[in-house]
Structure 1
Amino acid sequence: MSPSPPGFALDKSGEETILRLRGDWTVATLHYVERELSGVRLPSGAGIDVSGLGRIDTAGAFLIDRLVREGGETPPRLIGEHASAASLIAQVHAVSDPAAPPKVTPNGLIEMLERVGRGTEAFVRELIATLAFLGETVSTIVRLCAQPWKMRWTSIVAVMEEAGLNAMPIVAFLSFFVGMVVAYIGATTLSDFDLEIYTVELIGYSMLREFGVVLTGIVLAGRTNSSFTAQIGTMKMRQEIDAMQTLGLKPMEVLVAPRVLAMVVMTPILAFVATMAGIAGGIVVGWTSLDINPGLFIERLRTSVPLDQFWIGMSKAPVFGLVVALIACRQGLLTGGSVQSLGHRTTTSVVQAIFAIIVLDAMFAIFYMELGI
């Protein structure tokens, strides 16, 4: 009989917290949940439901006892019936019961330095793992391009519609009003110097070079990124990815590559729409508040703002699309077997994507400044 993968769920109903266990908690299966379980903190008085527990050995009992000790509960309060869980956990608890550690007076500076060090170490590890995933993704896409009959065109087109075409209204709507805000700010500031006409240049440079593509990336990070992570994470929770691998299908080819290719293609299109919508918002403000008719606005924009500003903005779009899809897919594949893990990975995915877009945009700005563009 093959072992059943372990799992758990933290049930916070009312004032009582219960950790419900399921599957086999043995030395051969604990690696499935040990990482997710390390992030769980049980409050004092929490119960552990063992009615859904399968097989358990001393390794599983030790892991449960350690979790209970961290919450301050001693001995563990078990709920439900199980043939050997209560006795094993009691034996492990009696053997590993340590003497009370000496009370250490906290040092604020040392704790702060420790947290900074741990955060830096975690950041470096995450960066290295993301770069490794990027390399694996690029190699997979190159292999698929060399073997186009293996490319899943239906999946690519479906993702392009879901993540690109369906996101176009909200991207255009948001960029239109941001363009209006920038135009109003420019008009208010420049009116003190009787230079309201230069609002056209302000709108042109800001929307073509920065705001259009950055707003697109942020919207995709909040909308599409979370969707990709939730989709892949749900498949991971339901063990659909394990079944896929059993059938000989590679998750990188089936799940990751179509999403990455679709985002790389659709992000420049969305950035173009966002840029045009932002300029349209500036035209509306110029027409209604500054008496600059649309024809004059467009003509001055054409003559005063170089075309290379448009290409600078468009050059960022594929990179932003690649980063958003890459982070979303990686966090989805890292999802554990619990709902808490799915929520944590989705939140992490969105935060990382927005952070990466802002940092990459700053790096692009420094790069183009050094080139004198």
Structure 2
Amino acid sequence: MPGDAATLTVDRAGDGTVLRAVGDWDIGAAARLEAELDSVPATGGEQVTLDLSGLTAIDTAGAWLLHRARERLVAAGASVSIVDPPPDLAGLMAAVDEAAPQPPPAPSGPGEGPVIRFVGGVGRATVDFGRESLALLNFLGMLVIRLGGAIAHPRRLRATSIVHHMEATGLAAMPIVGLLSFLIGVVLAYQGADQLRQFGAEIYVVNLLGISVLRELGALITAIIVAGRSGSAFTAQIGTMKVNQEVDAMRTLGLDPVDILTLPRVIALMVTLPLLVFYADIVALFGGAVMSWAALGITFPQFMGQLQSAVDLSQFWIGMVKAPVFAFTIAMVGCYQGLKVGGSAESVGRLTTTAVVQSIFLVIVLDAIFSIIFATMGV
């Protein structure tokens, strides 16, 4: 049985206007209704009432027409109110409002100078930073709880996924970590030798190299490399799964994406990053030893003897203690940003960049906190 014909009536009520929608507002009548709604004059300061009590049915096209009409009237300065909507219209209108493109920001008025715009930008950035920090802190708490539960019940861990990510984040990263670590050792030895040669203290380049690499640079540089390599990969992988609706499919099947996607990556990186840091320390010291021999004539036995007298195990363990904390932070940020991805490829790229920046920032902040703690402890 055909539905009621869709109509729009415009009535004056005192100082305002009443728009009455009647019948079936569906896609079949959309073209005609759009022309009628566009012909309604919009006056600034006017009260416009959308009376939807006469609607017998409405689909997305009808809801979209109401949304457009309301936005046009509001933009013209009118005050718009909706009365007597059907029970099922609220959810449909909310979905249309969410899907509608956001209007561009209004241009600054003549009274807003560069100082006001700058202060406003700083305020918005501060609020956004606070919200992002709170959301990341909430994710941290949830991840710690899930990780504790997985450790208490090891059968919940996905061993195959953990081993796969250990290979991807550890074994596959060895070439780039080794190359950069070797070059860092060479640069440190060369720069240190150039300065210490002025005082006839070339042998102390070994002290400089050993302490800086084992205590600070080995863990820090490796964490930065892994943040740019593996942290971004975590965000891109999980984000692509969200775009393809694979994460929604997991939830439909009763699977928790945090347990399936996040925990294996966190555990794998917490295992592999300390091993990569140890590997980077050895390669950086080897690079420094090669440069010391080439530039200063310090033989390898002399280098090892001076290194043993200058560096004890505490310097090595200070660097190694940082590695699991850095790994947890990098994996957490990468997975958090991946789960935030929306439904577009642009969102994947933007949040992948954000994940790398946040990871490196947090790694450097944590390294500074470690330095303060160790200095306070006298280590």
State the identity %.
47
Match of 1:36 in 2: none
Deviations 1:89-148 (A, max 9, x none): 653354223259993322222222222222222222222211111111111111112221
Match of 2:152 in 1: 146
Match of 1:5 in 2: none
Q: Does 1:193 align with 2:199?
A: yes
Match of 2:73 in 1: 95
Deviations 1:222-277 (A, max 9, x none): 10011000000011111111110111111111001000000111110000011111
163, 166, 170: which one pairs with 1:160? 166
Distance in 2 (alpha carbons) for counterparts of 1:85 and 1:127: 37
363, 367, 372: which one pairs with 2:373? 367
252, 270, 277: which one pairs with 2:283? 277
How many residues were matched structurally? Answer: 296
Secondary structure in 1 aligned to 2:242?
A: helix
- Cα distance change on mapping 1:136 and 1:94 into 2, 3 Å: closer
Larger Rg: 2
Q: Does 1:109 align with 2:115?
A: yes
Match of 1:325 in 2: 331
The amino acid that maps onto 1:281 is: G
Deviations 1:162-196 (A, max 9, x none): 01110011101101001100000000000111111
The answer for unaligned runs of 5 or more in structure 2 is: 1-26, 35-59, 78-105
347, 358, 361: which one pairs with 2:353? 347
Distance in 1 (alpha carbons) for counterparts of 2:269 and 2:377: 28
Match of 1:296 in 2: 302
1:217 Cα offset (Å): 0.5
Distance in 1 (alpha carbons) for counterparts of 2:145 and 2:165: 21
Secondary structure in 2 aligned to 1:96?
A: helix
Distance in 2 (alpha carbons) for counterparts of 1:289 and 1:202: 15
Distance in 2 (alpha carbons) for counterparts of 1:218 and 1:288: 29
Q: CA RMSD in A?
A: 2.3
The amino acid that maps onto 2:74 is: S
The amino acid that maps onto 1:244 is: M
Match of 1:237 in 2: 243
Distance in 1 (alpha carbons) for counterparts of 2:152 and 2:188: 46
Q: With structure 2 as the length reference, what TM-score do the two structures score?
A: 0.74
Match of 2:313 in 1: 307
Deviations 1:285-335 (A, max 9, x none): 111111100111011101111210000000100000000000000000000
The answer for unaligned runs of 5 or more in structure 1 is: 1-53, 62-81
Distance in 2 (alpha carbons) for counterparts of 1:318 and 1:280: 24
Match of 1:133 in 2: 139
The amino acid that maps onto 1:204 is: G
Distance in 1 (alpha carbons) for counterparts of 2:139 and 2:67: 39
- Cα distance change on mapping 1:335 and 1:86 into 2, 3 Å: closer
- Cα distance change on mapping 1:167 and 1:98 into 2, 3 Å: same
